[in-house]
Amino acid sequence: MKPITESLMENFDFFQKQDLSGYAGKWVIIVNRKIAGSGDNLKLLMEEVKNKYPDDEPFVVRAPTGRALIL
């Protein structure tokens, strides 16, 4: 199993190159540079992905909505 920070950066790099507009506003889980799941219920989604990929680290992102962010 690779170190968690290594998979973090690999999946971050993958995320930066993806167009996730088809998932706008949803939680998206990336595992090993692949989209492993998406949805609105993060807890359920994480359970599903961890069952499917028990030895891999999931990376969680909120797919951009396409709107500007004003904080």
Partner 1 sequence: MRLSIKYTSVKVGEGCIDRPMIPLIIRRDEKHIPLLGILDSGSDFMLVPKDIAEYLNLELHGSEEADAIGSKVETKKSTVSLTVSDGKTNVYLQNIPVRVLMQDGLKEVIVGRIPFFGEFDITFRENSKRIELVRTKRG
Interface residues toward partner 1, by CB under 8 A: 4-9, 11-12, 15-16, 19, 21, 25, 27, 41-43, 46, 57-62, 64, 66-71
User: Nearest distance from residue 24's CB to partner 1, in Å?
Assistant: 9
Contact at 8 Å (CB) between 66 and 24? yes
Q: Give the number of other CB atoms < 10 A from CB of residue 57.
A: 19
Residue type, 71: L
Q: Which is nearer to partner 1, 37 or 58 (CB)?
A: 58
Environment class of residue 35 by beta-carbon count within 10 Å: exposed (0-12), middle (13-18) or buried (19+)? Answer: middle
User: Nearest distance from residue 54's CB to partner 1, in Å?
Assistant: 15
User: Nearest distance from residue 22's CB to partner 1, in Å?
Assistant: 11
